[in-house]
Amino acid sequence: MPDDLRRAHERNDEVLERIYIGRRFRNDTERLEKLFDLYTKMTADTAKAIPKKTRGKMA
């Protein structure tokens, strides 16, 4: 990967990490734990919002 592109990715990572937790993640494990936690919360809220389908009356 070219150096300028790698630096841009690193800067992007830093900005996003500071938005999520206010600092850089210590390691990939901490990053994944946070992302899975956010995903779990997001999908739980979505599942609650979807109304259950009901069967219609048969004619």
Q: Average pLDDT for consecutive 10-residue bins of the chain (59 residues)?
A: 96 94 95 94 77 67
Q: Using CA of residue 23, residue 26, residue 28, residue 34, what is the dihedral sign?
A: negative
Domain boundaries, the chain: 3-42
What is the predicted pLDDT for the residue at 49? 67
pTM of the model: 0.60
CA distance 16 to 19: 5
Note the pLDDT of residue 20. 86
Q: Which residue has the tokens 């997001």?
A: 42
